[in-house]
Amino acid sequence: MQQVDVIGTLREAFPDLDAQALEELSGLVRIQTYPPQTLICKEGAFESVFYLIVSGEVAITKHFEATEERVLRYSGPGDFFGEMALIQDEPRAANVRTTRDTTVLEFDREVFDQLMSSSASLAWRMIRITFDRLRANDQTALSDLREAYLTLKRLDKAKLDFIQIAAHELRTPLTVIQGYADVLRNSPAGESDPAMLEIVNGIIRGANRLHQIVNSMLDISKIDTETLKVSRVPVLMQSVFAELKNEFDEALAQRQLTLYIKQLGEVPYIAGDPNLIYKVFYQMLINAIKYTPNGGEITVTYWATDVEGMGAAVAVTIQDTGIGIDPKHHKAIFEKFYQIGEVALHSSGKTSYKGGGPGLGLALVKGAVEAHGGMVWVESEGYSEETFPGSTFKVLLPVDPAQVTASANRPRPDHVPEAK
């Protein structure tokens, strides 16, 4: 074992201790030598030992992610570690691992407390080093966050570029497929052969479905690049929901779902883009149909109201008797590509129960609603395929977006104002 001048080492570390104090302290510390790659301090563990390095070297590391351990610094002779857990009486904030044969002096909590009370210079040194280390850790965390942000920004742009390119590249062959399918359907051969007609109709349905996805991709790219144009004309919500009901009649019948549409009192026209408004409630109804089991109910209710910062508005709620949404997902579901659960387990059917999709629908809803100066959110007690707590999506659309004075990031109201 390495010969250690304990009193000399302590004198260098704590120069304001007198000879008697150093002599007493030397009898209270332990000398330990650890081989390379020994974990002396474990992050998250409650430990009560303070260490002073006599010789060798240790690496101070910390887990910033579940699988990533980052080196914060290396420490050598004369340095100490383990003090923060004792000062704060909390778990170890980092791992300490030897990089070579390392000899240390070990101080138990009682000895450490005695040192702190008898050595003013040590107390100040501890405070200074603790703050320096906290500052260094903060700088490391900020640097990591900055790097992660830039990486995510690059990835998001690459994803957006891919969406735009893919959508435009898909449009041409889709148009060709739809054109030839229409020719086949209207040809004598198609009209006289039921089996062929069914095949052609299947091609057309698939092409139309893909065309809707392509259009959603383009809409999302416009929302992200803030190039979505809102062509405002008077829009009557009654007409929008009547058209949507006709659109979904067949799907509702297949799924044995009941759709109720309720207008409370007089509802004014809103200044909006009829195409975008239609897409908003189309996507919301698709979502309600997908996550409501066969035999369930979907209720659309809308009315005129007044909202602070928005003025005269139309409120819409879409309530279903479906499986509900866990509160932790309430905000995230409006982000593009966000999927709840295992995507591989989802059906790809547009209106099939728990059918999957590209994760663009509700992102489009949020972007289009906010482009109109409105707000959208969801309320649900939770998720259950046994009790079916259901979900209620709520939308506020200003009658005249020019009157909206509040920011798009304003907090949603505690409740949807009642009908006027």
Count: domains in the chain: 3
Within a domain: residue 303?
A: yes
Do 282 and 306 lie in one domain? The reply is: yes
Structural domain contains residue 163: yes
Tell me, yes or no, whether 384 and 272 share the same domain. Answer: yes
Say whether both 78 and 96 belong to one domain: yes
249 and 388 both lie in a single domain: yes
Beta bridge partners of 263: 302
210 and 310 fall within a common domain: no
CATH number at residue 380: 3.30.565.10
Please tell me whether residues 245 and 320 are part of one structural domain.
yes
**320: in domain:** yes
Instruction: Spell out where 176-269 has E strands.
Output: 233-235, 258-264
Helix axes 109-118, 120-186, angle to 10 degrees: 120
Q: Quote the tokens at residue 137.
A: 């850790």
Q: Is residue 413 part of a domain?
A: no
Q: Residue 214: inside a domain, yes or no? A: yes
Cα gap 185→327, rounded to integer Å: 47
Please report, for residues 74, 130, 143, the alpha-carbon distance to residue 64 in angstroms, rounded to integers and kept in the order given.
17, 19, 12
- My answer on whether 256 and 354 are in the same domain is yes
**Are 83 and 169 in the same domain?**
no
Domain harbouring 57, CATH code: 2.60.120.10
| Boundary-marking domain end, from 196, 224, 252 | 224
Q: Which long-range contacts (CB under 8 A, 24 or more apart) does 383-387 make?
A: 383/323, 383/324, 383/325, 383/326, 384/323, 384/324, 385/323
Q: What is the pLDDT along the chain (420 residues), one digit of tens a residue?
A: 568 889 988 888 777 777 887 888 888 889 999 999 999 999 988 888 889 999 999 999 988 766 678 888 898 998 888 877 667 677 888 899 999 999 999 988 887 777 777 666 666 766 676 677 667 666 766 777 788 788 888 887 777 777 777 777 777 888 888 888 888 888 887 777 888 888 888 888 888 778 777 777 777 777 777 778 888 999 999 999 999 999 999 999 999 999 999 999 999 999 999 999 999 999 999 999 999 999 999 999 999 999 888 889 999 999 999 999 999 999 989 987 777 755 444 445 566 666 666 678 898 999 999 999 999 999 999 999 889 999 999 999 999 887 776 554 566 666 666 666
In the prediction, which pLDDT does 344 show? 45
Domain boundary among 193, 224, 255: 224
Residues 398 and 288 in one domain: yes
Based on the fold, state whether residues 264 and 363 are members of the same structural domain.
yes
Which of 191, 207, 224 terminates a domain? The answer is: 224
Tell whether 212 and 271 lie within a shared domain.
no
pLDDT reported for residue 97 = 95
Per-residue confidence (pLDDT) for residue 62, from 0 to 100? 85
- Where residue 206 sits, what CATH number does that domain have? 1.10.287
| pTM of the model as a whole | 0.59
pLDDT at position 345: 43
397 domain-assigned: yes
Distances (CA, A) of 120 to 115, 154, 333, 372: 9, 51, 56, 65
pLDDT computed for residue 120 by the predictor = 65
Directed axis angle between helix 19-26 and helix 109-118, to 10°?
170
* 123 belongs to a structural domain: no
**What's the domain range around 311?**
233-403
pLDDT of residue 403: 73
Residue 411 has a pLDDT of 62
Same domain, 103 and 241: no
Residue 419 lies in a domain: no
